[in-house]
Structures are given as structure tokens and as C-alpha cells.
Amino acid sequence: MTLKELNFFYKLCENPQVTQVALELNISQSAISLAIKSLENSLNEQLFDRIGKKLILNEKGKYFKEKTLSHYLALKDAQNIFQENKLAGNIKIAASKTISNYIMPNIYYDFLTKYKDVKLDILTINSSKIIEKILKSQLDIGLIEVDTQNSSLIKEKLSDDELIVVTSDKSYKKEAFIDTINKRWILREIGSGTREIFINYIGDVAKELDIFMELQDFEEIKTIVLNNPNTVTTLSKVIVKKELEEKKLFQIKLKNIELKREFYLIYHKEKSKNLLFETFIEFLKSRFV
């Protein structure tokens, strides 16, 4: 039994697709298969059920993982101690568009500056797709802007956020009931966290809004609203901070509605936590605003 064999074993626990694991580790599928076979022979037990091209963890495999994972991670951490805490490896991370575009860039940059042997595979997709990919073990870490109660996920709050309604019409009333705002609404696409929070807050009133356009990109939405005073949108306050300060956009405060939400960190509850994973999460928490 070797650390390499155990590494392959835990990777396959997260992702049963041998082809994908081989690509991730940049080795051949046969090398993985031989290593797993060697591990099983040393234990005199079959740990996986072979179903097509997948290796599905069986009951013996689940028991072996439960009993050995903490010891394996301790051994990996011990290796890192003798490397003067020099982290190396790859983290697959996805963030929703608000977080990815307006909060994460400097965090990514500073982490990679500090740990030069680390590689970050970064995606920017909406929250629902991030949850889907985490559940399929296609990502290590997800940063989302909607709540989720899925029992297969570990969820940690990162910070609070506020959605606000803005227009470029500086003469428009500064406070209003949402159903009295007689302008064209430019909203994010269905599936985005921003839109989901907004629609959930306003409830049935959403049916009365003049939703003129739905777009994927925040900057496209801002461009339209900046150049068309007859339009209005709702965005995270962090996205329009500059335009509000420059008095190019103006907030319309909603009567009886406060559009609050939270940003979350999520990962699969079966995710193996190594030193790199835990270091990145602690770095992220310390920097998140």
C-alpha cells in the first residue's frame, strides 16, 4: 500500500470516472487501474464495483475510506511540514458572477503570489450551475450568492450583501413601492443568484413588472441603464459602487422591502481536505468582504 495508490483511491471516491481522474492527474487510465488493483490485492478486498467505465465505491470501499482518510491527510500534511509549508497543487473553483468579477480577482492574485506552485482552475458561472457541479464532484470549491439546504453540501457563510434598485434618471423619485416604478426592468437571466433573490423577495409583484430584457452580463445591464433613463435594474451594491459615487446612477429605495442576501462557500461533504484545500479556504475567509 503506497501513498500514490491511496491518492488514486480518494480521487476516485470523489469522481468515479477513471477517464476524468486520469486527465486531472495527467497519467494513463491503465496506471490508475493497476494502482487500484494493487491496493485491493494488498487488502485482499475489492473496494470498487466496476460498472462500465466507472469505479463505484462499494461498502468495503466506504468503510476503508472512513477508517483511513484522516490518517492519509495527516501523512500528507507531515510531508508538507518538511517542505517548509511550500504548497503545491491544483484547486478547481467556481464563483458566481458578482463574486467572481467584483470580489475575487485580487484574492486569486494574492494567493497565487504567495503560493507560486499552486494552480487555480477558475470558472465564472451562475450559482445553480456551481451547486450542480459541486454535487457531481467536478469542482473543489464553489462561491455562491443563494442559499442551499442540500444535505450533500457543506455550506459556510462568507459575508452579507445588499441588492439595490438603480436608474440613471436623476430626477426620478428616491423612494417608491416597487409596483409603482414605471420603467423598463433590465434583469439578470433565469438561474442567476441576483435574479432569484430579487424575485423571491418581491413575490407576486414580479408578474406586474415590465421586464424588458434579460441578460447574462452585469456590465451589459449597466451600459443599458446608464444610457437609457427609462430603464431600471437591481444589482449588488458592490457592482454599482463607482457609478453611485460618480452620480451616474441613482438608487431608488424600496418601501417595505430590503433586498438582503448572503455569500456562501460550498463544497461536497465527501471532499477530501488536504493542506492546500484548507489553506485556501482560510485565506479566502480572511480576505472576504
Q: Which three cell numbers stand for residue 11?
A: 480521487
In whole angstroms, give the CA distance from residue 2 to residue 68.
Answer: 13
H helices of the chain, where? 3-14, 18-25, 29-43, 59-81, 97-102, 104-114, 127-135, 193-202, 218-227, 241-245, 275-287
- Each domain of the chain, given as residue ranges in start order, spans 3-81, 88-159+263-287, 161-259
* One pLDDT digit (tens) per residue for the chain, 289 residues: 788 888 888 888 988 888 888 888 888 888 888 888 898 888 898 888 888 878 888 998 898 888 888 888 888 777 666 555 567 889 999 999 889 999 999 999 999 999 988 999 999 998 889 999 999 999 999 999 888 999 999 999 999 999 999 999 999 999 999 999 999 999 988 877 788 889 888 888 888 899 999 998 899 999 999 999 999 999 999 999 999 999 999 999 999 888 888 999 999 998 988 889 999 999 999 988 6
DSSP 3-state of 145: coil
DSSP 3-state of 71: helix
What H or E segment, with its residue span, contains residue 167?
Answer: strand 153-167
Asked: is 88-159+263-287 a CATH 3.40.190.10 domain? The reply is yes
- Which residues neighbour 41 within 8 Å (Cβ) at sequence distance 6 or greater? none
Rg value, the chain, Cα: 23
**For the domain bounded by 161-259, which CATH number is listed?**
3.40.190.10
DSSP 3-state of 148: coil
Q: Which three cell numbers stand for residue 264?
A: 456562501
In whole angstroms, give the CA distance from residue 222 to residue 215.
Answer: 11
Encode pLDDT of 118-141 as tens digits: 999 999 998 889 999 999 999 999
Domains 3-81 and 88-159+263-287 share a fold: no
pLDDT for 120? 95
Q: Which three cell numbers stand for residue 256?
A: 417595505
pLDDT for 243? 96
Nearest in space to 187 (alpha carbons), one of 162, 171, 209:
209
pLDDT for 80? 64
Encode pLDDT of 44-66 as tens digits: 988 888 888 788 889 988 988 88
Nearest in space to 237 (alpha carbons), one of 289, 287, 278:
289
Given 2.60.40.1180, 3.40.1360.10, 3.40.50.2000, 1.10.10.10, which CATH number is that of 3-81?
1.10.10.10
